[in-house]
Structure 1
Amino acid sequence: MKRMMAIVEREMRKFFRSPALMMVSMTLPLVQLIILGNAFGGKIRGARMGVVDYDHGSQALKIHEAFNAIAVNIRTFTTIPYDNEEKARDDVRTGRLDGAVIIPAQYSRRVLAGDSPTIGLVVDNTDQTMSSSLEAEMQSLVDALNAPVIQPKVVQQIALEIVELYPYVEYMKYLLAGSVALAMYVAVMIGGGMLYIDDKARGVHEGYLVTPITKWEMVMGLNLAGAIKAVLSGVTLTVIGSLLAGLGVIFHPMTVLQLSLLIIATSIAFNGMMFLMMVRVEDPLVPRAMFGVLNTLLFFPSGAISPITGFPKWLRAIAVVDPFSYAVHGFKAILLKDGGFAAIWTDLIFLFGFGMLTLFIATPLFKRTL
């Protein structure tokens, strides 16, 4: 035990002597959380909607009033009057407008006559996010206009009442779980995998070979040191990210216990996986070349950016064996849903089991020779 802790002490001393390395390991996930969290996933605000009104009747006035209500309240779009439909279409095509509404001539007369009038909506569907938001807002407006002033006593249409379990979840909060997992992965990759290969390339590990340290003690010592680095990184980003995202759950004692267990389990899983990949690598350039590939292969299929259910089958297969998936699911269950142990116990079992299995496989592959 003393010999194993000596390895841990050496690794941690080396780690804390280089604070820049610690900062680098958290810079990417933190920048990603701030930039992507604010750049994506938000509701559309301030879109430019052109309005071509060929009718100017009483029913067209109701549409203009609804547009003014949208501009003042939810602010999805603001309207710009146009006299010519072709000009409005061209401005949508060139990007001066995000969409255009066409109110046809005789619209009010057809409404009053019950003749099923049509309102035109021109959108640039190369931007699916913008076009979907404008289409959904216009459909809601049309549904409101179609609703009768006096509701019939007998229900003629089925209504859907949506119950949301949680308040509106901003994308930064949604992304926080993936950012914490990514910070731990970067800490393991930079502070564990790359340093271990660099030590082998420099011959530093040869000093261990003249000591009575066993292969098992060396493996456990190196991985314990890597796990501690990952835990420090995970705790730091969890606290900073939660404060940035406005999540106060980290101040609840039971949540702290759940997060601690999940961070420890994730660090063990990531270290075991990385040690298994690097145990026979000799060239220090290999882990640097693998960093981007592994980041893409493990992070994006995990559900950190978008739900796993939207993936094709082959990508779902990767997610099933990806420790990132279970870490992200666990962090979301705790930070966003307050799900408790009932929501994360399967994640904990997989992460602990995955870490132990990879270490069990990697130990016989570790060479205690030159």
Structure 2
Amino acid sequence: MNRFLAIVEREMRKFFRSPVLMIMSMMLPIVQLIILGHAYGGHIQGAKVAVVDHDGGPQAVKVREAFDAVAANIATFKTINYENETQAKEDVRTGKVDAAIIIPAQYSRRVYAKDAPRIGLLVDNSDQVMSGSIESEMQSLVNALNQPVIEDRVVKNIALQIVELYPYVEYMKYLLSGSVALAMYISVMIGGGMLYIDDKARGVHEGYLVTPISKLELVMGLNVAGAIKAVLSGISITVIGSLMAGLGVIFRPGADLNLFLLILGTSLAFNGMMFLMMVRVDDPLVPRAMFGVLNTLLFFPSGAISPVSAFPKWLQAIALVDPFSYSVHGLKAILLKDGGFVAIRGDLIFLFAFGIGTLLLATPLFKRTL
């Protein structure tokens, strides 16, 4: 046991003697959480919409008043008056405005005559986020305009009452789980995979074998040290990210225990996966070259950025065997929903089984390289 702990102590001392390495292993997830959390998932504001009014009647004035209400309140878009429909379309195409609304001639007359009045909306659908927000807001305005001034005695329309189980989830909160998992992955990759290959290239592992340390003790020591680094990184980002995102779940002891189990299982899974991939690698440049590829292959299909159900079938198959997916799902279940142990039981089973399985596969391969 003393020999095993000596390896763990040596790896941890080496890790803590490199403060830049520690900072960089946590900096990317924090920066990603801040930038992406504010850049995505927010409400579109300040879009410029051209309005071409060919009618000028009272119903057209009512439509323009609705536009002014949008600009004064939620400010999704503000309108710019155009006289020329052709110029409005050209400005949408060139990006000077984000959309154009066309109120056709005889619009008011057709409203009074109930003769299928129409309002045209021209959008630049090369930007799906912007066009989708404008279309959604316009549809809401049209629905409001369609409401009768005097309600019928018999209700003909069915209303949908939406009940949200949780308070509004900002995108920063949604992204936090992925940032925690990413921080642990970076810690394992930099503090485990890269240092492991560097030590192996310098002959440090062979030097251990001239001591009473056995190969099994060496394997276990390296992996336990790697898991400790990942756990420390996961706990740090969970606390920092939760405070930044305004999540108070970390102040509940039961949730803290579940989070620790998830972080422990994730660290074991990531460390076992990295050890299995690097066990037969000798070139120190290989893990550096693999870093970006693995990050893209494992992080983005995990559901950290968007739901897995939106992926094509082949990408869903990757998510099914990706430990990132189970880590992100479990962290969301606790951080966003406070779901308890039942909600993460399946995730924990996969993470621990994956971690133990990869270590059992990697251990005999490691022994053959010495």
Task: Mark yes or no: TM-score above 0.5.
Answer: yes
Question: 1:37: Cα distance to partner?
Answer: 1.1
CA distance in 1, matches of 2:270, 2:67: 52
Q: Does 1:21 align with 2:21?
A: yes
Number of the residue aligned with 1:316: 316
Number of the residue aligned with 1:166: 166
Q: Deviations over 1:147-181 (max 9, x none)?
A: 11222222322222222222221111111110110
Q: Does 1:362 align with 2:362?
A: yes
CA contact (8 A) 1:242 1:248 kept: yes
Number of the residue aligned with 2:346: 346
CA distance in 2, matches of 1:142, 1:69: 13
Any idea what SS the aligned residue of 1:78 has? Answer: strand
Question: 1:127: Cα distance to partner?
Answer: 0.6
Greater CA deviation, 145-154 or 30-39? 145-154
CA distance in 2, matches of 1:81, 1:246: 42
Number of the residue aligned with 1:284: 284
CA contact (8 A) 1:188 1:274 kept: yes
CA distance in 1, matches of 2:274, 2:153: 66
Number of the residue aligned with 2:130: 130
Number of the residue aligned with 1:267: 267
CA contact (8 A) 1:209 1:369 kept: no
Number of the residue aligned with 1:40: 40
Number of the residue aligned with 2:242: 242
CA distance in 2, matches of 1:53, 1:340: 56
Describe how 1:86-165 pairs up with structure 2 within 5 A: 86-165=86-165
CA distance in 2, matches of 1:191, 1:81: 59
CA contact (8 A) 2:280 2:369 kept: no
Describe how 1:177-192 pairs up with structure 2 within 5 A: 177-192=177-192
Which amino acid in structure 1 is aligned with residue 114 of structure 2?
G
Which amino acid in structure 1 is aligned with residue 238 of structure 2?
T
Cα RMSD after superposing both structures: 1.1
Any idea what SS the aligned residue of 2:281 has? Answer: coil
Number of the residue aligned with 1:76: 76
Which amino acid in structure 1 is aligned with residue 120 of structure 2?
G
CA contact (8 A) 1:178 1:304 kept: yes
> CA 1:42–1:235 in 2, change beyond 3 Å: closer, same or farther?
same
Number of the residue aligned with 2:65: 65
Question: 1:75: Cα distance to partner?
Answer: 1.2
Which amino acid in structure 1 is aligned with residue 229 of structure 2?
K
CA distance in 1, matches of 2:363, 2:88: 68
Any idea what SS the aligned residue of 1:100 has? Answer: strand
Question: 1:369: Cα distance to partner?
Answer: 6.2
CA distance in 2, matches of 1:74, 1:186: 40
Greater CA deviation, 235-244 or 308-317? 235-244
Say how many residue pairs are matched: 370
Any idea what SS the aligned residue of 2:216 has? Answer: helix
CA distance in 2, matches of 1:301, 1:318: 7
CA contact (8 A) 1:209 1:368 kept: no
Question: 1:43: Cα distance to partner?
Answer: 1.4
CA contact (8 A) 1:188 1:227 kept: yes
Greater CA deviation, 122-131 or 148-157? 148-157
Number of the residue aligned with 1:216: 216
CA contact (8 A) 1:215 1:368 kept: no
TM-score by length of 2: 0.98
Greater CA deviation, 308-317 or 242-251? 242-251
CA distance in 1, matches of 2:264, 2:95: 49
Any idea what SS the aligned residue of 1:21 has? Answer: helix
Any idea what SS the aligned residue of 1:51 has? Answer: strand
Any idea what SS the aligned residue of 2:48 has? Answer: strand
TM-score by length of 1: 0.98
CA distance in 2, matches of 1:68, 1:195: 60
Greater CA deviation, 66-75 or 120-129? 66-75
Describe how 1:249-260 pairs up with structure 2 within 5 A: 249-260=249-260
Which amino acid in structure 1 is aligned with residue 269 of structure 2?
A
Question: 1:368: Cα distance to partner?
Answer: 6.5
Q: Which ranges in structure 1 are unaligned for 5 or more consecutive residues?
A: none
> CA 1:248–1:129 in 2, change beyond 3 Å: closer, same or farther?
same
CA distance in 1, matches of 2:216, 2:200: 17
* Identical-pair percentage: 76
Any idea what SS the aligned residue of 1:168 has? Answer: coil
